[in-house]
A and B are shown apart, each in its own frame.
Chain A
Amino acid sequence: MSTTPADGSESAPRRPRTYLDAGSSEPLRPIARETLTAALAEGWADPLRLHSEGRRARLLFDSAREIVADELGCRPADVAFPPSGTAAVHAGLYGMLRRRRPRFIHSSVEHSSVLHTADHYTEIGGQYVTVGVDRDGRVDVGALKDELDRAERGPSLVAIQAANLESGALQPVEEIAAACADADAPWFVDAAAIAGRLPMPSGWSVATASAHKWGGPAGVGVLAVRRGVGWRAATVSDDRLDPRSPGYENIPAIIAAAAALQEMSNGAAERADRQRALSDRLRSRIAATIPDVELIGPEDGRLPHVVACSFLYVDGEVLVTELDQLGFAAASGSACTASTLEPSHVLAAMGVLTHGNVRISLTVDTTEEELDAFLTALTGVVAATRDRLGPL
């Protein structure tokens, strides 16, 4: 359908956009939008009240909790919905750190919310240990075991993510779970990268996720604390549904998030196969087409929807800005694109090239044609940037 502005001029044709940044946020799924609209009408009342409106909200909340618990592999009562993934991480970790004041062992590629928690823990007298990763971004399980073996230093808490959204690396979750179980250390797993996409690992004590990563609305974090885990609210709470997430619950958004999760989870295996084929193809074509590129993350054992690479001599900010002008939305971990002007701590920990970095993360709807067009644009932008530099 064409539109004509009031002054009678023809509007410029809009260039179609290709959004390749699901790793930052999967576009809101249509089912989440529909559910949100319905839930705003049905689930707005106070779920603690005994009137019909309140009970209806409470029923909706409980059904959302069941869906999320089913996905995570825990009991509905274990699940709470803090207002973001970061809020979930902070509440989950501090609830355990404050209880026994363990040594806090985490990997060097955890989300910044974990690293900031570690820094803050030292300010109140706690201790942390960082376990490194290999060039592909996989956690050094041997180093983790060595740390866990130092029992004389007291109890430990381990925070290692299920997968990394910058490198795409899947962590060796079964080995991590076994190492933690052997040492009787609770395992905190940040599952934001895999929820609704890949099977949840078992053996965790506390898990977190974030709905906007699976196509739900922003503002819905997930915090699951298994029964029997030594956890106690680290902040002042209230008498509402859950001390893990105080305050008046955003039930419409929580229900919409659960609807999106259920849909994503139902199609997860088929979608993972399709996205893996697409991302493998893009990865190998980038390597074959563009010289002086470092592919980031492992060849196998990678998130199906993530491809990351760094191009020598290219400015990451120029790269994403020029791609954006050509209609492609992608992310970068290069220092010049970060608010801190520091390179991504993930890329630095891996020891890979940090400048000229671009991360392509496929949405549910990304097609092969879109990725082919993206590769053409990327090839042109990288070549043009390097041409300006002369021979290198």
Chain B
Amino acid sequence: MSELTADVTLDCIGLRCPLPVIRLAQAIRSVPPHGVVRLLADDPAALADVPAWCRMRDQELLGVDRADDGVATFEVRRR
């Protein structure tokens, strides 16, 4: 995973689909172009839905890191 410093970190642990993606869409509006949002989520649907959102909304998924405890960390750069 990159060593980028995120402009915004979103803790969506405990939230179920589609809330993590909704929070991500709201947060990406709050950072400038090329700004980075880091999202933490443990909903298994996020593993499919965050990449799908990036593809559909033309945002850049920098990386996904899955920890052993089931929490995934996504880094998304605003285009």
Contact surface of A with B, Cβ cutoff 8 Å: 292, 294, 310, 312-316, 334-336, 341-343, 347-348, 351-356, 389-392
Interface SS of chain A: helix, strand, loop or mixed? Answer: loop
Complex partner residue of B47 from A313, A341, A348, CB under 8 angstroms: A348
Contact between B53 and A312, CB atoms less than 8 A apart:
yes
Contact between B49 and A354, CB atoms less than 8 A apart:
yes
In the assembled complex, the CB of A281 is this many whole angstroms from the nearest CB of chain B, namely 23
Contact between B56 and A355, CB atoms less than 8 A apart:
no
B: number of interface residues (CB 8 Å):
19
Contact between B56 and A313, CB atoms less than 8 A apart:
no
In the assembled complex, the CB of B73 is this many whole angstroms from the nearest CB of chain A, namely 19
* Known contacts A294-B56, A312-B53, A343-B17; A354/B45 CB under 8 A: yes
Complex partner residue of B17 from A336, A389, A390, CB under 8 angstroms: A336
Contact between B25 and A335, CB atoms less than 8 A apart:
no
Complexed CA–CA distance, A314 and B26 (Å): 14
* Known contacts A353-B56, A391-B29; A313/B48 CB under 8 A: no
Contact between B26 and A355, CB atoms less than 8 A apart:
no
Q: Which of A314, A343, A355: most chain B CB closer than 10 A?
A: A355
In the assembled complex, the CB of B53 is this many whole angstroms from the nearest CB of chain A, namely 7
Complexed CA–CA distance, A292 and B57 (Å): 8
Complexed CA–CA distance, A216 and B53 (Å): 40
Complexed CA–CA distance, A315 and B21 (Å): 11
The answer to the question of B13 belonging to the interface, with a C-beta cut-off of 8 Å to chain A, is no
Contact between B56 and A335, CB atoms less than 8 A apart:
no
Contact surface of B with A, Cβ cutoff 8 Å: 16-18, 21-22, 25-26, 29, 43-45, 47-49, 51-53, 56-57
In the assembled complex, the CB of A322 is this many whole angstroms from the nearest CB of chain B, namely 15
Give 14 CB contacts A-B under 8 Å: A294-B56, A312-B57, A313-B22, A335-B17, A341-B16, A342-B45, A348-B47, A351-B51, A353-B48, A353-B53, A354-B49, A354-B52, A355-B18, A390-B26
Complexed CA–CA distance, A23 and B37 (Å): 39
Shortest beta-carbon contacts, A-B, top 8: A355-B18, A353-B52, A355-B17, A392-B25, A343-B45, A335-B45, A354-B48, A348-B48
In this complex, what residue of B is CB-closest to A314?
Answer: B18
